[in-house]
Amino acid sequence: MSDSVHIQVLGGADIASMRAMLALFGQAFDETATYTALQPDDGYLAGLLSGRNFVAIAALSGSSVVGGLAAYVLPKFEQARSELYIYDLAVAEAHRRQGVATAMIEALKTWAREHGIYVIFVQADHGDDPAIALYTKLGVREEVLHFDIAPQEGA
Digit-coded pLDDT (tens) for 75-115: 999 999 999 999 999 999 999 989 999 999 999 999 999 99
The answer to whether the CB of 56 falls within 8 A of the CB of 68 is yes
Express as a percent the part of the chain with pLDDT over 90: 70
The architecture CATH gives domain 5-138: 3-Layer(aba) Sandwich (3.40)
Residue 50 backbone phi and psi in degrees, to 5: -95, -10
pTM confidence score: 0.84
Residue 115's nearest CA partner among 68, 83, 76, 69 is 83
Domain regions of the chain by residue span:
5-138
